[in-house]
Structure 1
Amino acid sequence: MSAAVTAYLLLGSNLGDRAALLAAAREQLALAAGELMASSALYETAAWGREDQPAFLNQALAVRTTLTPHELLAHCLATEQRAGRQRLERWGSRTLDVDILLYGPEIIDAPTLTVPHPRLAERRFALVPLAEIAGSVLHPVRHTSIAELLAICPDPLAVKPWPGR
């Protein structure tokens, strides 16, 4: 077991009851990974990478965990599987996607895990909810706050607060 660290996760869904899938994932990850410290509002955005699919709901979580990064990844993947996730095509529609955006100040470059998420600074749908709960946190590679990354993000896709339940 490692020392407790705050990890930031991004949940996303564009199939089925998106809000219910995110709520179930929040509960499962909090039980498996540790203490849920914060969760952003839900945000809706057009699909990134492939525009011919339904809009996504996204939410960022801050989890205080003693799991190693790879143990946390295993729980993220298991949570996706329980939600019926099928990996049929890159950037395709999915019931649930769980990404590790940050794991404390660590930089990880392993065959199965890269942290910080390699495209975090390019994705408004990840930065908006993350900035809500961790705007002052520094990106460990860019040495820039999440709020500053959001301010200069080149992604043109609108990210709107979701008015649903």
Structure 2
Amino acid sequence: MAASHPDRAGHVAPALHAFIGVGGNLGDPIRAVHQAADTLSQHPQVRALRLSPLYITAPVDSTGPAYVNAVMRIETTLMPHALLAVLQQIEQAHGRTRPWRNAPRTLDLDLLWYDGRHIHTPDLIVPHPRMHQRAFVLQPLQDLAPDLTLPQGPLAALLAQCRDQKIDRLAAPNDTQDPEFS
């Protein structure tokens, strides 16, 4: 059952689950991932946030240094396009520029999945149209929601199809702690 949150006018809206891909390969991407999670967790319309373990991956359809990637699971009362706008504000605060498609970046936040909804607008496609082909999304997503099934199939089966993509879990001093922000 979804949690509820009062909005500024006192109306209660149910909190919905969303998954957000987070990563970067310029500057200090580990710090950027953690700061983005912290910033998002402080938004008044985000009730809970859980961050997957971090992974190091080679660029996919991109160039530059290796990426640090993770997935965040949130409960939110933000509607999809409002959530996208918040994610883009966080990216911009971290110096994100878009000189060309798939350019190296300081921070990348992608709305991957929004409460099982299918959205197809000029500025937002959910579920993310390529996440089923990317180990750097599937592995951390499986860490958070092993039973989640995408339109293309179960996460484990999709991840097996990406076994040629190298992905290494980043060992961290607090890796044994539950990475929950709230």
Normalising by structure 1, what TM-score?
Answer: 0.91
Cα deviations across residues 45-98 of structure 1 (Å, max 9, x unaligned)?
Answer: 001102x41000001110000000001000000000000000011111100000
Q: 2:4 — aligned with what?
A: none
Q: 2:178 — aligned with what?
A: none
Q: 2:138 — aligned with what?
A: 127
What are the equivalent positions in structure 2 for 1:75-114 lying under 5 Å apart? 75-114=86-125
Match of 2:159 among 150, 155, 163: 150
SS for the counterpart of 2:72 is strand
SS for the counterpart of 1:125 is helix
Structure 1 residue ranges (4+ consecutive) displaced by more than 6 angstroms after TM superposition: none
Q: 1:45 — aligned with what?
A: 57
Greater share of residues in strand: 2
Give the Cα separation in 2 of the matches to 1:104 and 1:145: 16
Match of 2:70 among 48, 56, 59: 59
Match of 1:30 among 27, 36, 41: 41
Q: Percent identity?
A: 35
Cα deviations across residues 19-57 of structure 1 (Å, max 9, x unaligned)?
Answer: 11111100111122512342111100001102x410000
Task: Please state how far the C-alpha of 1:164 moved relative to its aligned partner.
Answer: 4.6
Match of 1:7 among 15, 18, 39: 18
Paired residues of 1:36 and 1:61 also in contact (CA < 8 A) = no
Alignment length (residue pairs): 161
Paired residues of 1:80 and 1:97 also in contact (CA < 8 A) = yes
Please list every run of 5 or more consecutive structure 2 residues that lacks an aligned counterpart in the other structure: 1-6, 8-12, 174-182
What RMSD, in angstroms, separates the aligned Cα atoms of the two structures? Answer: 1.5
Greater share of residues in helix: 1
Task: Please state how far the C-alpha of 1:158 moved relative to its aligned partner.
Answer: 0.4
Give the Cα separation in 1 of the matches to 2:102 and 2:29: 17
SS for the counterpart of 2:137 is helix
Of structures 1 and 2, the larger Rg is shown by 2
Give the Cα separation in 1 of the matches to 2:154 and 2:16: 18
Give the Cα separation in 2 of the matches to 1:37 and 1:163: 21
SS for the counterpart of 1:98 is strand
Tell me which moved more, 28-37 or 126-135. Answer: 28-37
Please list every run of 5 or more consecutive structure 1 residues that lacks an aligned counterpart in the other structure: none
Task: Please state how far the C-alpha of 1:138 moved relative to its aligned partner.
Answer: 2.0
SS for the counterpart of 1:156 is coil
Give the Cα separation in 1 of the matches to 2:67 and 2:172: 13
Q: Would you say 1:74 and 2:74 are equivalent positions?
A: no
Give the Cα separation in 1 of the matches to 2:73 and 2:48: 6
Normalising by structure 2, what TM-score?
Answer: 0.83
Q: Which residue identity is paired with 1:137?
A: L
